Each structure stands twice: as C-alpha cells, then as structure tokens.
C-alpha cells in the first residue's frame, strides 16, 4: 500500500475518528467535574478544625487512592444496569458515563490532596502558592484524557474503539500501525499544548512564591 493510499484512507475516516476523540474529551471533562466536586468536599473536611471530620476526609481520600479505576470500570459496566426506571420512566445509563465515573475516582483523591495544600496556603495568605492548584488540575486533566481510552473495553465508541472499526473496515493489517499513529496524533495535539501552557503558568506562579518547594500530594495527610 502506497503512502498516498494510506493518506487517502486516513482522510476519509477522519470525521469518524475525530468524533470518537470528542467522546474522549467528554468522558474526561465529566470525570474531572465529578471528581473535583467530591474531592473538594473531602479537602474541606480535612481542613476542618474537628478531628473527626478531618479523619473522615482523610480515610475517604485514602480509599479513592487505592481503588484501581480499571477494575472499577468493569464493576460499573457489569453490575450497573444499562437502564433504570424512575416513577414509571425508563432512563438509560450510558457506558460513557460509567467510564467517567470510574475515572473520577482517581480525580477525587488528586483534588482532595492538592486542594488541601492549596487551602492551607490560602489560609496562610500565600495566594500564588494556592493558585498552583490550577495548573496542576489542568495537567491532571491531560492524564485523564489519555486514560479515557480505557473506555473502549466496555464498548464506548471513543477514538481507540473506532480505530479498531477502521482497521476492520479497510481489511488491511498494514493499516493498523498508521491508524493508531494517527490516533496518537489526536492525543498529542490536545495534550502537548495544554501541558506546555500550564507548565509556563506554573513556572510563573513558582517565581512569585520565590521558587519555594510545594508539598506534593504524596506528602499530604
């Protein structure tokens, strides 16, 4: 197969693959939204002056740190029904939402730890150090976008799943490498600019706090 033929196949299937990548973005944004909301609650508990609430928030955070998201993904896929009835109305529980909820578990722990540190800095009047949470959160979004490809194992039509459809449709194993490389290009095109931009933001914020080292999430407690 010539390069021109390969390029033609990729161009023809681009709308199909691009639409799949939008599902990756949607899954990731929902996971970040759910995880951030729950993680913020846990961080608030850990910042509480009451030891019982602080211990409760820490225990819940530790739990989210130790739940494999891939295993939880299968748990939601097979144990949560595809539809449920409420007041006589049937509502679907889509697979992409299950994937988002599974990925949100990791986000909960990340936000709880990092927002805890940000909250401590904010209380101490160190606003630039507190604002470091923003680039860290955005960079974590990039990690979740890359992890969103695991949704393909439960039948979500994201880009990796659609790559397999394209390979099967063109009936050519020699296209496999090119199709996957093309898919990698989507992830790189999204993730690299975000990481680069947030890296510059983080560097400027660190300069404002005098380059003082900040506590990493593994040191929180």
pTM: 0.88
Judge whether 217 lies within some domain: no
Q: What is the pLDDT of residues 6-33, one digit of tens each?
A: 999 999 999 999 999 999 999 999 999 9
Task: Tell me if 206 sits within 8 A of 132, measured CB to CB.
Answer: yes
Q: What confidence score (pLDDT) does residue 217 get? A: 44
Q: Is residue 166 part of a domain?
A: yes
What average pLDDT does this structure show over 74-103? 86
Would you say residue 171 has pLDDT above 80?
Answer: no
Q: Is 218 a domain residue?
A: no
Q: Domain range for residue 9? A: 3-210
Domain assignment of residue 35, yes or no: yes
* Largest interatomic CA distance in the chain: 68
User: ∠ CA(214), CA(67), CA(104), 5° rounding?
Assistant: 70
Q: Is residue 31 part of a domain?
A: yes
Decide if 127 is inside a domain: yes
- Cα three-residue angle 17-18-21, rounded to 5 degrees: 90
- Tell me if 221 is assigned to some domain: no
pLDDT in tens, 145-170: 999 999 999 989 999 999 999 999 98
Write out pLDDT tens, residues 49-64.
Answer: 889 999 999 999 999 9
If one counts the domains in the chain, the total is 1
How sure is the predictor about 76, in pLDDT bands with cuts at 50, 70 and 90?
confident
For the stretch 192-217, pLDDT in tens is 999 999 999 999 999 888 755 444 44
Residue 220 pLDDT class (50, 70, 90 cuts): very low
Range 62-78 burial, b when 16+ CB lie within 10 A, else e: eebbeeebeebbeebbe
Does 172 score more than 60 pLDDT? yes
Identify the pLDDT of residue 92: 82
Domain with 48 in it: what CATH number?
Answer: 1.10.3720.10
Report the percentage of the chain scoring pLDDT > 90: 71
- Identify whether 219 is part of a domain: no
Question: Is residue 113's pLDDT more than 60?
Answer: yes
| Per-residue model confidence as pLDDT tens digits over 180-192 | 999 999 999 999 9
108 vs 205: CA distance, rounded Å? 24
pLDDT of residue 53: 93
Cα–Cα dist 52/178, whole Å: 55
């Amino acid at each position: 197969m010539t390069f021109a033929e390969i390029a033609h196949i990729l161009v023809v299937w681009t709308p199909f693959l691009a639409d799949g990548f939008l599902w990756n973005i949607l899954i990731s944004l929902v996971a970040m939204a759910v995880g951030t909301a729950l993680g913020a609650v846990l961080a608030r508990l850990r910042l509480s002056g009451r030891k019982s609430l602080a211990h409760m928030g820490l225990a819940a955070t530790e739990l989210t740190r130790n739940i494999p998201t891939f295993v939880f993904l299968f748990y939601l896929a097979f144990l949560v029904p595809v539809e449920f009835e409420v007041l006589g109305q049937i509502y679907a529980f889509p697979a992409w939402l299950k994937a988002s909820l599974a990925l949100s578990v990791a986000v909960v722990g990340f936000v709880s730890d990092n927002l805890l540190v940000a909250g401590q800095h904010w209380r101490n009047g160190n606003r630039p150090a507190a604002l470091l949470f923003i680039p860290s959160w955005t960079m974590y979004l990039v990690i979740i976008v890359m992890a969103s490809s695991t949704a393909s194992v439960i039948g979500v039509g994201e880009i990796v799943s659609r790559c397999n459809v394209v390979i099967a449709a063109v009936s050519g194993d020699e296209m496999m490498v090119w199709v996957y490389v093309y898919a990698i290009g989507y992830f790189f095109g999204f993730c690299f600019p975000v990481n680069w931009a947030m890296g510059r933001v983080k560097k400027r914020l660190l300069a404002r706090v005098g380059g003082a080292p900040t506590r990493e999430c593994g040191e929180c407690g």
